[in-house]
């Protein structure tokens, strides 16, 4: 696909799609071409949904998960109208003694889809990576600290679920520095190690170390 042969209007729309994370020029062009094949009604529906995105969807004021805005919430969720709380924070059946910290909303969604975790969440909004302009000050670490201080539980398990890479490990270390000696809070980390069906002979040293360190 040669973008140089496309007209200027097409290129302008392609550039708009390229502003999305992980979308290159070729993929953006495919998106535009796919939209061109859609009927007018569907395009109108798509455009309206994008235009109203900020009006109808926002971040939960407690955990920063995705939440509905006041104007789009029905009477059954009157509590969330005041605080813009997400469905997880509104659920009184969730375990209030567990708080799992993730980098992104998509990480939260992945864990939630397992159906195994029944506690609360906190979305940091990324991981510490100065090269990308992500510092402790730009993440929601202060909000995490304030939230932990307000939680009414004597024994809070703070579960660190950042990614097992350099940025994730740096963030994990920073969280441990904040809460390591805090009374009533004990820190845990998602277990890491050998995956099902793996072969020890071809497993790297870091994975083996994690498998040994986090063995049950």
Residues 103-129: tens digit of each pLDDT: 999 999 999 998 899 999 999 999 999
Cβ atoms of 67 and 60 closer than 8 Å:
yes
The reported pLDDT for the residue numbered 1 is: 53
Alpha helices in 57-193 (DSSP H): 78-83, 87-90, 105-114, 141-150, 166-179
136 DSSP assignment:
T
- The closest alpha carbon to 172, from 119, 103, 122, 95, belongs to 103
Check residues 164 and 62 and name the one with the higher pLDDT: 62
Fold of the domain spanning 94-213? Dna Topoisomerase Vi A Subunit; Chain: A, domain 2 (3.40.1360)
Range list of β-strands (E), the chain: 57-59, 66-68, 95-102, 119-123, 156-160, 185-189
Residues 205-214: tens digit of each pLDDT: 877 777 777 7
Mean pLDDT, residues 15-19: 94
Mean pLDDT, residues 31-37: 94
- Composition of the chain by helix, strand, coil, percent to 5: 50, 15, 35
The reported pLDDT for the residue numbered 13 is: 93
Tokens 């441990």 locate to: 176
Q: What distance, in Å, lies between the first and last C-alpha atoms of the chain?
A: 52
Fold of the domain spanning 3-51? Helicase, Ruva Protein; domain 3 (1.10.8)
Task: Tell me the domain boundaries of the chain.
Answer: 3-51, 56-90, 94-213
In angstroms, the CA 45 to CA 211 distance is 49
Residues 62-116: tens digit of each pLDDT: 999 998 765 544 554 544 445 689 999 999 999 999 999 999 999 999 999 988 9
Asked if pLDDT for residue 38 goes beyond 90, the answer is yes
Task: Give the highest mean pLDDT range of 39-48, 55-64, 73-82, 192-201.
Answer: 39-48
Same fold, 3-51 and 94-213: no
Residues 139-155: tens digit of each pLDDT: 999 999 999 999 878 89
């Amino acid at each position: 696909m040669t973008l140089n042969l496309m007209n200027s209007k097409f290129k302008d729309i392609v550039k708009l799609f390229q502003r999305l994370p992980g979308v290159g020029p070729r993929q953006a062009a495919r998106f535009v071409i796919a939209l061109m094949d859609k009927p007018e009604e569907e395009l109108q529906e798509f455009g309206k949904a994008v235009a109203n995105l900020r009006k109808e969807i926002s971040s939960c004021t407690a955990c920063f998960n995705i939440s509905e805005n006041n104007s789009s919430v029905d009477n059954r969720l009157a509590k969330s109208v005041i605080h813009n709380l997400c469905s997880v924070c509104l659920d009184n059946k969730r375990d209030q003694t567990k708080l799992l910290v993730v980098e992104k909303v998509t990480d939260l969604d992945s864990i939630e889809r397992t159906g195994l975790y029944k506690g609360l969440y906190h979305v940091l909004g990324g991981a510490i990576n100065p090269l990308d302009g992500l510092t402790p000050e730009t993440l929601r670490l202060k909000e995490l600290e304030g939230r932990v201080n307000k939680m009414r539980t004597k024994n809070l398990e703070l579960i660190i679920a950042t990614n097992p890479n350099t940025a994730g490990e740096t963030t994990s270390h920073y969280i441990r520095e904040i809460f390591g000696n805090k009374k009533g809070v004990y820190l845990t980390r998602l277990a890491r190690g050998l995956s099902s069906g793996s072969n020890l002979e071809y497993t790297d040293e870091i994975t083996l170390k994690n498998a040994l360190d986090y063995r049950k």
